[in-house]
Structure 1
Amino acid sequence: MKKYGYTLFLIFSFFNALSQMPLNGTHYADSLTQQLKKELPNATKAKSSFLLSEFYLRTDTAKAEQYLQQGLAHSEGNSFMQAVSLYYKALQMMAKNPELAKKMLLQSDASLKKFKTKEALLVRSMCWHSYAFRHHLRNEIKESIEIILHKAIPLAIQSGDLGFLGKNYFLLSAGFKNLGQHAKEKIYLTKAVSILKKANAPQYLAMIYQSIGENYISLGKLKEAKSNLDSMMILLKPYPQSEMWLEYYAGEALRLNTALQFDSALTVVEKGMLLAKRFKGTYAEKRILLQKFYALHSKEDFPEAKNVGLALVKDKQFMAWETNKLQIYYGLATSYEGMKNKQSAYKWLKLYSGLSDSLSNSKLKETANLLEVKYRTAENQKKIVALNAENEKAKLATKNSRLVNWLLGLASIFLLIVAFFGWLFYRNSKKLALQKDLNHQQELKDIDRQQQIKLVQVMLNAKEDEQNRLARDLHDGLGCMLAIAKLNLTDYIHEQGNNNTLELQNIVTQLDTSIGELRRISHNMMPEMLLKLGLKALLKDLCESAASAALKVDFQYLGINNNLLAQEQINIYRIIQEAITNATKHAQAQNLLLQCSQNEDVFFITVEDDGKGFDATHLDKVEGIGLNNIKSRVEYLKGKIEILSERNKRGTSINIELYVTA
């Protein structure tokens, strides 16, 4: 259920994009209300009314509409405030009628062009920011980036508002993240944080720390996530009653749940729920409740988890998102199953299965398109390399031909005078040409090797993606079908009484075994524990699953850097998994040793067994997918592999060196 954490952040960003969230919310609203009671110009009262309308947009739509109407009344006769009012009317319409809201944003920008004040420039930047964010939510990322770069940011710079400029750079970094351009993402994210530290806009900076923290959680980098959430907490400390604390509690509870610290997560949830009583209808409260549901479910407190889940199901704002529905449907199904209520479990599992199938078909098309793009890219790279090689050969042939013709002409003129020197020069020229040819051949080999490494990388990534997709399909599709079949058969046994109970119970047992085996296969294909527990725990689990009464497995894990990249950990795990599988299947060993160690950027793997050996003198002629997979992954990590084994002798030793991030 944690895999939808980034989607929840996106939903939170939607509400924050529509309005500012002052850290001292109560004081902010009171000061604006007091201004409306004073004898001030109508333009000032109109502005205060619009800001109050924006403030209450998240929590009290009736109040928001009331202050909007007051602002419109105070704007009569003032062309500037009437143009500004279109922006605030668009904020009100964004959830009800997005298309009409977009038209209002464009009308507001067009009407404000004739005003050259900094305030007009800021409101125009706000219009384009909201317009771009609508594209961002609809996954039209390139359009969003174009609008932010060419519209919102230039206007924000002209207005001189550093706070809103930093907010624009933050949205820009999120766009490049979605496009996979992480170098640009880092540039603009760093720029956003730097600007907001200079500006007097702690509400924007707190929002960025919170979003970066939740993004690190989704990547499994909990240490970095805690650092950013702590920075957010420091900004919030002067404002103990700020609504932004709800977002902090939601993010911190998500981090603790991801770290499997469920009791600590529940403590944070209770703090958040206590503060949430002061605010009505905030989406942050639903996010905190979702973390409570997850913690209770993980602690197997199914009755309490069920109650929280049912409360979330009744909330229309929360259930408007399909990712939320998937989590709650599946969580309620497993909660009812834990409570032995098979009828209700079947009901929620059926809802989950129907929605999951619908989403899986869409994801399958996306995966197919991605693989096609990767394939075409690899093919184009090979064509480019081939054309470059042909061009180099043609150039070399032309150079050699010109050199020979020149030598022959010179020899014909000075043949009798400098015969010896001409012959000596010709011989040296031949040596030079031969050396150039050798150098060129070596360059071609290097290019070919680099291309092979890139091709292996694409193949491994595609294979890993396909394994993950197949594992999800097995777990979410076939696993659900077997679970439903088991529930139906169990109900049938209860209805039949003692008739054929023993045979049917055997069938139920077989279904349980099949479900367990299916889960083992899917988890084996998609090692999600790497993000949860790390490489060491996953390798230990692999060794324990390989051990049996006939095979003793000894696992040693020495001096390993815990900051290995996720892709490196997956490749290391796959190499060891393949080696142990080969040993258990073919060696008929009684003892097996797996030793992992690290010295700076070199990762050492040793797999030894006392089983029957094989001919290791001609590894390039050995057939088999397993060994080829090991060699491909070792080559991808620029490593070396040594296999010591002989046919008809006991014992095999595999020594591997890999280059990883230090």
Structure 2
Amino acid sequence: MIFNPIKKTSGFQVRIISLLCMVIFAVNLFKAQEFFDQKALHDSLYTILKTNKNDSVKARAAFHLAHYWSLKDFKKAESYLVLGRSYFKNNRFLLGIYYSSVIDVYLDHDPVKTRKALQKADSLLSIYHTRDVYNVLAKSWYSEAINAQNANDEKRALDIIVNKVIPYTKKNGKKESLAMFYSQVGILLMNAGQLDNAQEYFSKVIRMKASLSPKRNTLLRAYIYSADVFVMNNKLPQAKIRLDEAIKILIKNPNPADYADYHKAAGSYFEKTGQYETALLHCEKGIAYAKEIQDTYLENSLLRNQFEILFKTKQYEPAEKIIHQLVNSTEYMANIDSRKEVYDQMARISHALGKNKEAYEWQKKYSTFSDSLYQAQLDRDIVAIEAKFKNSEKEKTIMQLQADKKQEELKSKNQRLTSWILGITGIALLIGLFFLVYSYKSAKKLSAQKEINHQQRLNEIEQQHHLKLVQEMLDAEERERQRIGRDLHDGLGGMLAGIKMNLTQQQKTEYHNLNTVISRLDESVVELRRIARNMMPESLLKIGLETSLRDLCELLESEETSIIFQAIDVGKNIPDATQMHIYRIVQELLSNAIRHGSPSNIMLQCSQNQDVFYITVEDDGKGFDVSILDKSPGIGFTNIKNRVEYLKGNMDIVSTQGEGTTVNIELNVTV
């Protein structure tokens, strides 16, 4: 349930209410994204973890299980978190999801760790623009708002929800979650006394009612909170309208927790309108529901409201019974403000009943308790004053010592003058010697630095020359591939097609094996076109890089090998020459994986962040010893390395025999 704020609350009580609201809102938010059958959810995730062969899918399943257990078994949640992290190494997206899962697991155990995890998750995931990512970031930032509330920093908690959580929730399109966060902001503003601003947020939820699920209590709560605010602002007709709408929903979807808060709000309304008997009836019903859900705080709050109504209507004996219930409530009396209030109420009711001796005793307790609070505050003030006095005495002593020191300095000034002259002379000689030594060393260092700079310049010239040669080699290779492709397609392809036509015309007259010849010519034409397409991909020139890579994956996919292609924010304005290099790199990586690794699954992921292009190829094949590449890299690997160096990128290969291979490449694709 979500606790409803009361009219008379201490600072401590307001913080408790807000914190409970935020925690329960978080639980409701997470539950809204899971199956209603928690056991079915767990079994489904566990099956995916055990049977799926894709490491990325298994990692996500493990993180979901960590979240599932975070509310039940911390150790088990922690173990699933570690398991999920073991399924990948350098995947930016999965690393961001991992840190968001760290927040879920450690929220109630290590606030510092969750705050660091939030910074990493936000940094890693901010480049992705999907609803899934927006949802993850909204949950992560809301957890930080709960941390701020735990630290009694309600202003920061409110700022996080308004400026981080709500914008991300708007982007992910989940209306139910957005309404829940609007209500949370309204509750925090109501407890802070900003009633008009709170009403604005509750009204936002009510305006969204067409898109909210009738099976959830988000809209119902907004009506109840809005009614509370209208009562506090003495806008009673508007409060009545809100309460009427709330009871309509409650009748269709009854819930004890919702009924308890409804009757509390209704009791406040009828008390303000002077309908005290109706107000008392609502308090009784609210207390019954609070007992049913074992909400002691709400029960005590309703009892206090009931006492005030009974006292106001001079029903002193029932009021006395209620106040005795509060006196016997250990939880209620544990709070200093509540205890002080109860002493005052006991004195009032005893006096009203003519029990003057008891009234005197309770008033004495009230005064003694108030005096003790005052004395404690006075003691703190005295300590502060004494600290200021001690600081003042210290400052006087310091000033006196400083005056004595100046006197001594004046006395010894003449004596030191001669020593200064001799000292300055000696220092001048030492400085001159130092500068001579320094000049010599500086000249030596300068000469050495010039030699280093000269060598670096030579290295740069050599590197530029090497890159120029590599570019010329690659350009020549591409021109030759294109020329051969055109020649094969336009020349030899046309000739073979002509032969086929001539043979077809003579099929029934001259050759008895003509069908076999034609069939072989068909195969030759298909093979010729395949070679031509491989040497010069027409789709790359016509429809762009992303579609060409997708076509390449479909071309290389077979019954033995499944290829999954993922493209994230791949731009369409990459220069043609750069697109060709990327295409050739991916073509060589996929060919090597299929030819040498014999994998069952290959995942190709291509993404772009401004001028940086990322390529990740992951397979579950045989793997190999990466050190072999340093000894005998092979032509294919050399071509890939040259293209990566030309595009000022870097490449990382991770492979273990029997566990597959992962290749991560970053390229500079200046648009």
What's the TM-score bracket when you normalise by the shorter of the two chains? 0.3 to 0.5
TM-score (norm 1): 0.45
TM-score (norm 2): 0.44
Bigger relative contact order, structure 1 or 2 (CA pairs below 8 A, ≥6 apart):
1
Q: Which entry has the higher C-alpha Rg, 1 or 2? A: 2
